Chain A
Amino acid sequence: MAVLTAFRESTLWRRRRTRRWIVQSWFGFGVALVLLYVASRATRLQLGLDFMGDRAGFAIGHQWLTDYTGSESRFNAYAVGVFNTVRLVLAGLALATLLGIVAGVARLSKNWLVSRLATAYVEIFRNTPLLIQIIFWYTAVLLQLPNLERGVEVLDVVFLSNRALAVPWAYPEGAFVAWLGALVIAAAASWLAHRWRVATEERTGRPANPNTTALAVFLGIAVVGFVAAGTPLRPELPERGVAGAGIQTISGGMQVTPEFSALLLALVIYTGAFIAEIVRGSIQALPRGQTEAAMAVGLGGYERMTLVILPQALRIMIPPLTNQYLNLTKNSSLAVAIAYPDLVFVGRTIQNNAGYAVPVFLAIMATYLVMSFLISAIMNWLNRRVPLGGR
């Protein structure tokens, strides 16, 4: 004891730097011990990635553009899973943002009925578990649709049934890549045209229609390029057919499975409710003078919103919006509940067949980390680009 007291009173312990290093060493030592222990236990688990090269041996339910039969490697199966997650997330992000902005603006509408409806939407869907919503859309709505024989048809080109939603689609052929190049040129030219018209507007003080000009330039080059490349898109209509044993099938066009539709619906409606709250909060955070000034210069309701309020609210909106985007990305993993073959579902199937729980879960986590990082990076870039306005 005497030694301890002496040590505590010595200059060595009293010096901040020494104390900091002692504390940190002990902390690091403890963490290292725990990790080592886990690693030592984990040797009983299978490690390594060789198993990913083996033949997968399970088919992945047919989705639009992919048809994985299981004869290829597990790596390819996983890649299909990642592709399925990415397309679900991208569609979800776009639609949820749209719905969220509409609902958020509607909540602030002067029309009592509209604002009440938007409030009800937000409060109902935000406070209900997403998993229940997914299962509800899937089992209680989409799977209850009539089967293919009695399914809903719109003008013989759109088919809605409990098997799939089939719509016309155009597939690339021939000089498609060349046309993509033309599109890039069109985008660059329309950007230049936009800058030129804005500069003219500022010089002369008269409206010079920058948006219309830019759109016209883009469409012009795109259409000319499309014809020049020999119309490199082949439109395709969904068609009914009969497989052996008289089973009805549908082929062609774009076919969306009920699993995908259910997930997309649920993710969009759920996340849209959260985004609506963010939009509302950001608009309310703007000084009232902005609205009043916009009214004073004679802008109408729509222009007031799109030209004055939303661009400024955007700056406040982006950080919490990023959070919701990340949530949507992670929530897409609830696909396992209804067997949509996303990356978690495929990963689980691989783990079920081959074991190797630790490498599979590490791969899943690494994939989500990469996706989260990409979304954060893009949103941070956007955040820096949007000017801080209003104050």
Chain B
Amino acid sequence: MVTRVVVQRSPALRARRWARSNLFSNAWNALLTLVTLALIGFVAFVLVRFIFIEADWSVVRENRRLIFLGRFPQEHEARIWPPIWLFALLAGGSMGLWGRVNARGAAAIVVSVVLVFALLAHGANGARLGVAVVLAGGAYLLAERGLRGEAAQVRARRAAIAGWALLLPFAVVVLVAFGGAQTSRLGGFLLNILLATVAIEAALPLGVLLALGRASSLPVVRVVTTAYIETVRGAPLIAWLFVAWFVLPDVLPPVFNLDRIDLVLRAMVMLSLFTGAYIAEIVRGGLQSVAPGQVEAAKAVGLGGFDITARIVVPQALRAVIPALVSQLISLWKDTTLVSILGLTDGLGGSEAAVSQREFFGRQREVLLFAAGVFWVVAYAMSRLSLRLERSLGVGER
């Protein structure tokens, strides 16, 4: 045992020592510190001056509907709230069940809630946002404090997982079904969210099947799946989106009007097919990481081929690649902006449409920074979540 002697020093002295060892340990380091300080100062000055003085944020405020919902019909706008409420409920509950919220996390949440209110709480939306906040907070408190005993915990976790699985179908049904909006009218950040979630949920099973095919011992299956994966990964997404735009309707069978599906659905189909190939490569890595002993043990207890794959190999492979899957989701989330090149009014397309109006001419900086900020917040939150998952799963620690 090493005993550490802790000497209390005055904060000023501690700060000076810290600065000396971290910033000014030698001449080169001091120079580096000064140059970096100058750079940071310059960037901060330009940014602060722009954000608080030069920028005219009215372009974002006036066009928030266009940026968040695109050309989503006004009469159906109320339909977006039930999915948001369910999301708030699940997010609050999950945080209470799985996570611990530290001070920084809590501060980030409070700041984002305030920002969202400042931007979107007008008219009835204020009350609706309030409902979402109350639901999230209530679910958090209930999950954190209200559950007595292991059994209740387990039941609540199962319910939460089921809820997350049902969120997307629920959202799609509420938005589109029963005389709702046409899919072609989906837009804004709502479209980006839907594209990313639909594509990841459709691509996951496709990717697992492709990965199994590529790892198969059957040559025909292996060649076909490998060809698919490599062809899709070989060309850029925008080229595939052009294919979806110009070629897909001509090769889809004319049943259920499949050959006349609108651009939004075509983008969804193509994003799913595209992401499937990337997920296949991720899952392939996971399959290789499953110890051969697992398969042998499963054979020894008499499981058949299908059961070995579905119950032993794939679950362990997926567990090992969860962080990589989240990275794929992040890159998919960023890539959904490409649909704006097809002329769809997603978050980016809506932002560009906003500055094409005469009164907001030349306000590109404001809308683009705002759109970039929204994408960044979601992507950064996901990457933090992925780090946390990585730690709690203990991947790479066995």
Q: Which residues of A contact B (CB under 8 A)?
A: 20, 23-25, 27-28, 31, 37-38, 41-42, 44-45, 109-114, 117, 123-124, 127-133, 135-136, 139-140, 301, 330-334, 336-337, 344, 348, 351, 357-358, 361, 364-365, 368-369, 372
Contacts and interface: CB of A to CB of B under 8 A. Distances in A.
A131 B380 contact: no
B218 A23 contact: yes
A37 B368 contact: no
Contacts of A140: 364-365, 368
Contacts of B341: 131, 334, 336-337
B372 A132 contact: yes
Residue among B25, B37, B365 with max Cβ neighbours from chain A (10 Å): B365
B23 A113 contact: yes
Interface string B339-361: 01100000010001000000000
Given A20-B218, A24-B220, A361-B243, A124 B376 contact: yes
A139 B348 CA distance: 13
Contact of A113 (B33, B234, B365): B33
8 contacts: A20-B218, A111-B23, A131-B337, A135-B364, A140-B364, A140-B368, A333-B239, A365-B231
Nearest to A41: B251
Nearest to B25: A110
B368 A117 contact: no
What secondary structure prevails in chain A residues at the interface with B? helix
B23 to A, nearest CB: 6
A112 B22 contact: yes
B221 A42 contact: no
Nearest to B237: A330
Given A24-B220, A330-B236, A351 B246 contact: yes
B36 to A, nearest CB: 5
B26 to A, nearest CB: 9
Contacts of B236: 330-334, 344, 368
A372 B239 CA distance: 15
Contacts of B40: 113, 117
Nearest to A131: B337
A369 B32 contact: no
B234 A31 contact: no
B247 A117 contact: no
Contacts of B7: none
B244 to A, nearest CB: 10
Given A45-B250, A111-B29, A128-B379, A27 B231 contact: no
B39 to A, nearest CB: 7
Contacts of A117: 36, 39-40
B238 A333 contact: yes
Given A128-B376, A130-B334, A368-B239, A37 B220 contact: no
A20 B217 CA distance: 9
Contact of A344 (B37, B238, B348, B375): B238
Given A31-B224, A127-B376, A344-B239, A111 B22 contact: yes
Residue among A129, A301, A344 with max Cβ neighbours from chain B (10 Å): A129
A250 to B, nearest CB: 24
Given A113-B23, A361-B247, A369-B234, A133 B242 contact: no
A123 B383 CA distance: 10
Contacts of A31: 224
A94 B237 CA distance: 23
A111 B32 CA distance: 8
Nearest to B37: A113
A128 B375 contact: yes
Contacts of A131: 334, 337-338, 340-341, 348
B379 A127 contact: yes
A358 B368 contact: no
B324 to A, nearest CB: 12
Given A23-B218, A333-B239, A361-B243, A129 B365 contact: no
Given A27-B220, A337-B341, A128 B246 contact: no
Contacts of B376: 124, 127-128
A109 B379 CA distance: 26
Contacts of B253: 37, 41
B220 A330 contact: no
Residue among A123, A301, A333, A348 with max Cβ neighbours from chain B (10 Å): A333
A271 to B, nearest CB: 13
Given A129-B337, A132-B375, 17 more contacts: A24-B219, A41-B251, A45-B250, A110-B29, A111-B36, A113-B36, A114-B33, A128-B372, A129-B334, A129-B335, A135-B364, A136-B368, A333-B239, A357-B243, A357-B246, A358-B247, A364-B239
Contact of A139 (B221, B368, B371): B368
A70 to B, nearest CB: 22
Nearest to A143: B364
Contacts of A28: 220, 224
